[in-house]
Amino acid sequence: MENGTERLRAEDVRARMGAASRVGARIDCFDEIDSTNSYLKRIAFSGADDGTVAIAERQTMGRGRKGRSFESAAGKGLYLSVLLRPPLAPEELLPLTGLIAAAVCRAADRAGGVRTQIKWTNDIILNGRKLGGILTEPGLGAGGVEYVVAGIGLNVSQRTEDFTDEVAPIATSLARETGRTVSRAALAAALLEELDALYDALLRGDTAPYLADYRARCVTIGREVQLLWQDAREHVTALDVDGQFGLIVRRESGAVETIRTGEVSVRGLYGYIE
Ligand code: BTN
């Protein structure tokens, strides 16, 4: 166990891992960086290998989805990104993020002794609050997807007062939910193992178990949700997640449609009740 502020080192992560074929063969650790996603995008451009990982104690410009910032307090969370070079078409990127969400949940469960869930598309949920998130960014070139950077942020040792007022009502950490200090090195090792196993499955075309896992963990399915279109809001019922990780919903008119991008609020989650 670590005290929650101990520095993460590549050797400590590697010492807790089994043999990984790709993910984690190179691990770059930083005390401070703008964003581990931005770093991997920079080195991807100059040819860094498939599976390269970046971990930071602290990010000064941690980024979330939809242009939001991601709170990255020093030593209190796991801020980890991986560079992948999968043979995927641009339309296969939404599914990739869903598959990664399932792998992240498996790792958090193993390291933290918890049962995490997913809010579509890829918020990681623990006991109804946001434990972390995933930001997947593609590098597109003339030949299609040249690389993907998948960045994962997980809250580990934050107490409620460590979150800003904006985030505190919806966020949680492994320590807050379990009362225990979870080793970030063990969490990082579990995450790299799960991402490596997922990457193998992806290259073999055998991702069905991850889709099944995603569906089983998805708190959005079966719930009333509010679609957040630009300015408009619409209440619909989430029915299922399809094979491409689109959200199948029934509109008030009775029409059934599949949403592939965008944001939803789930009734009963994150304080949304109406
Ligand atoms: C979200 O919930 O909106 C996604 C958050 C993703 C945060 C991680 S932390 C590591 C990586 N580096 C970043 O700048 N963002 C991701």
- Tens-binned pLDDT, residue by residue, of the chain (274 aa): 344 457 899 999 999 998 878 999 999 999 999 999 999 999 999 999 999 999 999 999 999 998 899 999 899 999 999 999 998 888 787 789 999 999 999 999 999 999 999 999 999 999 999 999 999 999 998 888 999 999 999 999 999 999 999 999 999 999 999 999 999 999 999 999 999 999 999 999 999 999 999 999 999 999 999 987 767 788 999 999 999 999 999 999 999 999 988 778 887 777 665 4
Question: Which residue has 């799960």 as its token pair?
Answer: 194
Determine whether the shortest distance from the Cβ of 176 to ligand 1 is under 6 A: no
Phi then psi dihedrals of residue 168, to 5 deg? -50, -40
Q: Strand 224-228 vs strand 144-155: parallel, antiparallel, or unpaired?
A: unpaired
Beta bridge partners of 149: 83, 137
pTM value surpassing 0.85: yes
Determine whether the shortest distance from the Cβ of 36 to ligand 1 is under 6 A: yes
Triad 46, 49, 52: Cα angle to 5°: 110
Calculate how far, in angstroms, residue 62's C-alpha sits from the geometric centre of ligand 1.
6
Q: Considering only CA atoms, which of 121, 119, 141, 139 is closest in space to residue 131?
A: 119
Determine whether the shortest distance from the Cβ of 64 to ligand 1 is under 6 A: yes
Q: Considering only CA atoms, which of 126, 132, 134 is closest in space to residue 82?
A: 134
Q: Yes or no: say if 44 and 36 are a contact pair by the CB < 8 Å rule.
A: no
Residue 42 falls in which region: left (phi positive, over 0), alpha (psi -120 to 50) or beta? alpha
For 2, counting Cβ atoms within 10 Å of its Cβ (0-12 exposed, 13-18 middle, 19+ buried), the class is: middle
